[in-house]
Amino acid sequence: MSKSIAIDGPAGAGKSTIAKKVSLILGFIYLDTGAMYRAVALKAINSNIAPKSQKDLAEMMENIDITISHENNTQKIFLDGVDVSEAIRTAEVSVGASNVAVFKEVRLKLVDLQRKIACSKDVVMDGRDIGSYVLPNANLKIFLTASVDERAKRRYDELVQKGQKVNFEEVRADMIYRDNNDSSRTFAPLVKVADAIVVDSTFLTIDDVVEKILYFYNEYSNDK
């Protein structure tokens, strides 16, 4: 039976950085499920489909091809055969991802892919609904959070470093919009499930958080 660690939490809490490091240390693969919702949003944007148009999105999902590859612990995501790993990291795609992620037609297809990957490999999977919906039997569930100001600052710095022109207040507002959207949707919302351990990273370094999660895995993983 393959092993899994679920890391959920709001936007910009550091889930992907932490999940990548933890997976490398444990020899698991890292699966960034947000990238899949971003790829769907990118396709919708490129096809001029309004992110809130459920019918058009449902049709689009019938013909979408999303594949994931892992090399040197780095995930690449392909949309209809094209590597979009970088193209999905824009503010427009972030908000679009949160809008398309509301729809069951979008989620079910991606969840299916996520579960198939977790079935055959040991994974650290990050997202919003991993512990609550995708992998309810995960060996360890973490709810990773941080204050909204700290999360906005981290995301702003990351985008600036990539050379994108961004405004701090807009990054912060997008984040609040997405958190509300993700927490209030009816199907598989962002929630802290009862058996998840909360880690607040506001005043912690990346290495502190990684250390905590490894400790929790060694102590509390339900496969031991």
Where along the sequence are the contacts to ligand CDP (CB under 6 A)? 11-12, 16, 33-34, 37-38, 94, 97-98, 101, 127-130, 178, 182
Residue with smaller CB distance to ligand CDP, 169 or 218: 169
Q: C-beta of 116: minimal distance to ligand CDP in Å?
A: 15
Q: C-beta of 130: minimal distance to ligand CDP in Å?
A: 6
Backbone angles phi, psi at 79, to 5 degrees: -110, 120
Q: C-beta of 151: minimal distance to ligand CDP in Å?
A: 8
d(CA 75, CA 101): 20
Residue with smaller CB distance to ligand CDP, 27 or 95: 95
- Whether 178 and 152 have beta carbons less than 8 Å apart is answered as no
Instruction: Return all residues near 115 (Cβ < 8 A) that are at least 6 apart.
Output: 134, 135
Q: C-beta of 30: minimal distance to ligand CDP in Å?
A: 12
Residue with smaller CB distance to ligand CDP, 38 or 43: 38
Q: C-beta of 191: minimal distance to ligand CDP in Å?
A: 11
d(CA 120, CA 223): 16
Residue with smaller CB distance to ligand CDP, 40 or 210: 40
The string of DSSP codes covering 45-103 is HHTT--TT-HHHHHHHHHT--EEEEEETTEEEEEETTEE-TTTT-SHHHHHHHHHHTT-
Residue with smaller CB distance to ligand CDP, 23 or 33: 33
